[in-house]
Amino acid sequence: MSVIKKLSPRLANQIAAGEVVERPASVIKELLENSIDAGAQQLDVEIEAGGVKLMRVRDNGCGIDKDDLPLALNRHATSKIYDLDDLEAVGTLGFRGEALASISSVARLKLTSNNGVQESAWCAQAEGRDMETSLSPAAHPQGTTVEVRDLFFNTPARRKFLRTEKTEYNRIEDVLKRLALSRFSLGFSLKNNGKVIYNWRPAQSQIEMERRVAQICGPAFMDSAVHIDMERAGLRIWGWVALPTFSRSQADLQHFYVNGRAIKDRLVAHAIKQAYQDVLYHGRHPAYVLYLELDPGNVDVNVHPTKHEVRFRDSRLVHDFLFSSLHKALADVRPSAPDQQHARELEMASTPTSYSSGITAQNAPAPVQSSLGLGAGNRSPSSASHYSVNEQITSYSSLVNTPEPMAIKPAAESFAELEQRSQAEEVPPLGYAIAQVKGVFILAENAAGLIVVDMHAAHERITYERMKLQYAQQRIQSQPLLVPQSIAVSEKEANCADDNISLFTSLGFSIERAGPESLLIRQVPVSLQRADVENLVRDVLSDLIEFGTSQRIQNNINSILSTMACHGSVRANRQLTLPEMNALLRDMEETERSGQCNHGRPTWTQLSMSELDKLFMRGQ
């Protein structure tokens, strides 16, 4: 008797369903992706009992021919790829040809479609027994409706693993939101237990897109979002990133799309985390809605059955592009003045405007700038300085020995002259100082109203950025070890070290291979001679293997510089003159990332005239 037997079609499809159909949300995802691939402009979803009792997806796409309907329910049958070349450059969301067959093996499925050419629509039905399909004529406009009832009716063991109706509904809602963010030009609706929950119309203009993002991610996200759009080397990244002051306790507001496909990728997450590392409060997570576009031939989407993961042909290029683009966008965020029209709107508004933060990115689109009432800051952080800092950072002792508190250099004009100049010239973004509160906060008046600045936090960021710039302009000085340090590594790590000798040299390390699985460290950066060098090298090698790059050494240096900047900044309860306060405000306007201190906390806030009026019930 033969031990090896061929699986029945029903059992094979039920096994495949274990990979594709995890819960009702998985079904909705597969059906909606098919509708998008069919060129639909409107997608309507209806569910009952969290999707377990009923899931119905209707679209107005190209439809399916009568002769193709039975084939559409067969496993590995698809119209999206035909040969290996198609698989290497997939341009559709679905391509495996498993979804409908897997769904019909664990539920009662009815597929009704009209391709607009046939005289009538046709309906194909299949249940999870013998997988036989029955055809019958039906009434249906152009497009397709897929109806799935009684999920897991024939596999009760899997049905036990489903959560409550509310939990399953929330997962379906998340799937719909992710797809609605991926295709602004399409309309989406969701009906739950007979009640319409969402009805998103197609969004064509920038304002309509932002409205949909606000509806899905919340108005608070859009209030703090900066629009970016950058392109280089065949890669384009665009979308919205939230300012560091709008951070989350969980990574629950992070949407990333590659060629319109929602993914969760460790390389992408690492690049974005690195871009936020210098401005985000510890333990917090950034929020973003980002779209990466590249040649489909340069990304492999056939990595995971659920297609949530991808693999890039040149992962280092993608990582560096994402990091540099987002790093630049966040660095360009600095105080910028509202235009006069927006100032008048602020004064006349009856409720506080959500765009009163006075911050924008240099490359924000016109609609965003208009709604924010802000312009782009294009001054270099090194173009002017009102503070004295150590000119050279050449040894570890100069890093750890805190310098004398850095004196603020007053502007070479009196307050009367400043006031005179403010009347003749345009008021700067952060306005002019008018007072100091308890030696902690600076109060300033600008075109929109009142500015409140945390003087220590602001000066700390300015000092830190200056010190980083000075350090970057010098060669990293190295210190030979009295006794070379040997570390045991894997052969893979040793090979990686061999391939990246020049990188380690540029970072101040002298590393040699002492054997198949050992390295010898002969020289280390002066600033890191007291650090745990062995673990640092291991972490750098781990980053190089995983992501193709490493920021760990730079992070250690930045940590030291940040500590120095904190001790070298103006302290609380120090009384400043008005010229000194104004000098600080001008430097804030010129310094990158000046909206947050080194620890990710905000350095200033804007109170508009309408907000001040509300405090005193003026006009009510």
Quick one: pLDDT at residue 181? 97
Alpha-carbon span 449 to 612, nearest angstrom: 8
- Helix (H) / strand (E) containing 612: helix 609-615
- Helix (H) / strand (E) containing 513: strand 510-515
Quick one: pLDDT at residue 420? 58
- Helix (H) / strand (E) containing 371: helix 366-372
Quick one: pLDDT at residue 392? 33
- CB-count burial class (<10 Å; 0-12, 13-18, 19+) for 144: buried
Q: Are 316 and 284 in contact (CB under 8 A)?
A: no
pLDDT at 405 over 60: no
Alpha-carbon span 528 to 533, nearest angstrom: 8
Closest CA to 590 of 599, 598, 582: 582
Quick one: pLDDT at residue 244? 87
Closest CA to 17 of 117, 126, 166: 126
pLDDT at 389 over 60: no
Name the range with the highest mean pLDDT among 55-59, 347-351, 402-406, 459-463: 55-59
Alpha-carbon span 589 to 457, nearest angstrom: 14
Bridge-based pairing state of the strands 195-200 and 42-48:
unpaired
Query: If pLDDT is split at 50, 70 and 90, which confidence band does 383 have?
Result: very low
CA dist list (Å): 54 to 16, 46, 147: 21, 8, 7
Q: Are 381 and 589 in contact (CB under 8 A)?
A: no
Q: What ranges make up the beta strands (E) of 233-388? A: 235-242, 254-258, 261-262, 288-293, 299-300, 311-312, 334-335, 359-360
Query: If pLDDT is split at 50, 70 and 90, which confidence band does 306 have?
Result: low
**What is the Cα gyration radius of the chain?**
30
For residue 507, count other CB atoms closer than 10 A to its CB: 19
Residue 423 CB partners (closer than 8 Å, separation 6+) = none
pLDDT digits (tens, 9 = 90+) for 202-252: 999 999 999 999 999 999 999 989 999 999 999 999 999 998 888 888 999
**Helices (DSSP H) in 204-301: which residue ranges?**
206-217, 219-223, 266-276
Quick one: pLDDT at residue 396? 24
Mean pLDDT calculated for residue range 253-274: 93
CATH hierarchy code of domain 206-331? 3.30.230.10
* Least confident window among 146-160, 308-322, 414-428: 414-428
Mean pLDDT calculated for residue range 480-509: 89
pLDDT at 380 over 60: no
Quick one: pLDDT at residue 168? 97
* Least confident window among 156-170, 288-302, 352-366: 352-366
Query: If pLDDT is split at 50, 70 and 90, which confidence band does 51 have?
Result: very high
Residues composing the chain: 620
Residue 31 corresponds to which tokens in the numbers above?
């059906």
Q: Are 189 and 202 in contact (CB under 8 A)?
A: no
Alpha-carbon span 432 to 536, nearest angstrom: 46
pLDDT digits (tens, 9 = 90+) for 531-542: 788 888 888 888
Mean pLDDT calculated for residue range 129-138: 77
Type of residue numbered 389: V
Quick one: pLDDT at residue 70? 87
Residue 126 CB partners (closer than 8 Å, separation 6+) = 73, 104, 109, 132, 133, 134
Q: Are 284 and 248 in contact (CB under 8 A)?
A: yes
For every residue of 45-106, DSSP letters joined together read EEEEGGGTSEEEEEE-SS---GGGHHHHTSTT--SS--SHHHHTT--SS--SS-HHHHHHHS
For residue 598, the 8-state DSSP code is T
Alpha-carbon span 258 to 255, nearest angstrom: 10
Nearest 10 degrees: CA dihedral of 551, 557, 561, 564?
Answer: 140
Quick one: pLDDT at residue 331? 86
Type of residue numbered 289: V
pLDDT digits (tens, 9 = 90+) for 552-577: 776 777 776 777 677 777 777 788 89
Domain-by-domain residue ranges, the chain?
9-200, 206-331, 380-620
Quick one: pLDDT at residue 554? 67
Quick one: pLDDT at residue 79? 79
Quick one: pLDDT at residue 549? 72
Chain mean pLDDT for the chain: 81
Q: Are 328 and 582 in contact (CB under 8 A)?
A: no
Query: If pLDDT is split at 50, 70 and 90, which confidence band does 362 have?
Result: very low
Closest CA to 257 of 299, 290, 306, 294: 290
Burial per residue of 608-617, b for 16 or more beta-carbon CB atoms within 10 angstroms, e otherwise: bbbbebbeee
pTM of the model: 0.73
Closest CA to 48 of 151, 158, 183: 151
**Strand, coil or helix: 136:** strand
Name the range with the highest mean pLDDT among 52-61, 62-71, 603-612: 52-61
φ, ψ of residue 248 to 5 degrees: the values are -120, 150
For residue 22, the 8-state DSSP code is S
Alpha-carbon span 528 to 530, nearest angstrom: 5
Helices (H) and strands (E) in the chain, counts: 22, 24
Topology of the domain covering 9-200: Heat Shock Protein 90 (3.30.565)
Topology of the domain covering 380-620: Ribosomal Protein S8; Chain: A, domain 1 (3.30.1370)
Q: Determine if residue 526 is left, alpha or beta; phi over 0 gives left, psi from -120 to 50 gives alpha, anything else beta.
A: alpha
Query: If pLDDT is split at 50, 70 and 90, which confidence band does 284 have?
Result: confident
φ, ψ of residue 21 to 5 degrees: the values are -105, 90
Residue 381 corresponds to which tokens in the numbers above?
């952080």
Mean pLDDT calculated for residue range 276-288: 86
- CB-count burial class (<10 Å; 0-12, 13-18, 19+) for 78: buried
